[in-house]
Amino acid sequence: MPVTPAISSGMNALFGGCGLAAGVVALEETTGRPVVWATAQYLSFSSPPQVLDIEALEIVRGRSMSQGRAVIRHEGEEILTVNAALGSRASDVSDVWVAHPDVPGPLECPVRLRPPGAEGTLASRVEMRLANAIDYEDLPSVPSGTGRSALWVRIPEIDTSTETSAAKLSILGDYLPFGVVQAIGRRAGSTSLDNTIRMVQRYPTDWILADIRVHAVAGGMGTGTVFLWTDDRRLLSVASQTVTVRV
């Protein structure tokens, strides 16, 4: 996988969600089964124009489930590891108990301005609208009081007529750093230590609501959860992360 600016952050490094997505795709293709759960542990940075090697291994294969691992390296150095469970089981039980946030639809929300230096990076390929959030220029310098924020996101170049892939959700679930800034009310830089995606249901959707819930920030670390919803209020997946926080 060539590391290009188009899958990199503003820090000129591979965007964490893109690394997780690469491991997810490799494991789904290797096992022939859909990802149920996948987590990435980030060990080192990778920047353009590096080319990464992805080794996907099916460790255990059962009747309906597989356990696998993808190791992503640059010239032998391990950059990140993705562990995952893949498969599906027939069931007539289906329900969702977590509540969808009360926010306006995407076209009713203001556009999030792209930060300087975003040209050509992943951020330039993602359209964002502020559902329950404010632009960085307007941060109040005090904590939000709730730790909750919400952002409508979409990648216009991706076909939305088919069900939303685990790879796409792995990328769009990587917004806890945005939520941390909203929660503390101050500009902060973040580096992901881990990134987990838990699939719920796969539906086609144009816009995806990133419903971000920061649990805590302490000791220079932040933890939280991102619920990803379709534009007609159906839960797609649950993402979670631990990130460093540098105010």
Q: Quick check: helix, strand or coil at residue 27?
A: helix
Q: From CA 197, how far away is CA 201, in angstroms rounded?
A: 12
DSSP label of 145: S
| Residue 91: exposure state from Cβ atoms within 10 A (0-12, 13-18, ≥19) | exposed
Cis previous bond, 49, omega within 30: yes
Domains delineated in the chain: 1-88 (3.10.129.10), 104-247 (2.40.160.210)
Compute the average pLDDT of residues 220-228.
Answer: 97
Averaged confidence pLDDT in the chain:
95
Q: What local confidence, expressed as pLDDT, does residue 119 receive? A: 86
CB-based contact 170:237 (threshold 8 Å): no
Q: Is residue 117's pLDDT more than 80?
A: no
Q: Quick check: helix, strand or coil at residue 153?
A: strand
Cα–Cα distances in angstroms (integers) from residue 29 to residues 23, 32, 137, 169, 179, in the given order: 10, 5, 43, 17, 32
Q: How many helices (H) and strands (E) does the chain have?
A: 3, 10
Q: What local confidence, expressed as pLDDT, does residue 68 receive? A: 98
Q: What local confidence, expressed as pLDDT, does residue 30 receive? A: 98
Could you tell me what percent of the chain has a pLDDT over 90?
86
Compute the average pLDDT of residues 72-96.
Answer: 95
pLDDT digits (tens, 9 = 90+) for 193-216: 999 999 999 999 999 999 999 999
Q: What local confidence, expressed as pLDDT, does residue 118 receive? A: 80
Confidence of residue 3 (pLDDT cuts 50, 70, 90): very high
Instruction: Determine phi and psi for 151, rounding to 5 degrees.
Output: -140, 125
Q: From CA 231, how far away is CA 242, in angstroms rounded?
A: 27
Q: What local confidence, expressed as pLDDT, does residue 60 receive? A: 97
Q: From CA 151, how far away is CA 136, in angstroms rounded?
A: 13
CB-based contact 24:38 (threshold 8 Å): yes
12: left (phi over 0), alpha (psi -120 to 50) or beta: left
Q: What local confidence, expressed as pLDDT, does residue 10 receive? A: 85
Q: Is residue 115's pLDDT more than 80?
A: no
Prediction pTM value: 0.95
pLDDT digits (tens, 9 = 90+) for 148-173: 999 999 999 988 888 999 999 999 99
Is the C-alpha dihedral spanning 166, 171, 176, 182 positive or negative? negative
Q: Strand 65-74 to strand 208-218: parallel, antiparallel, or no bridges (unpaired)? A: unpaired
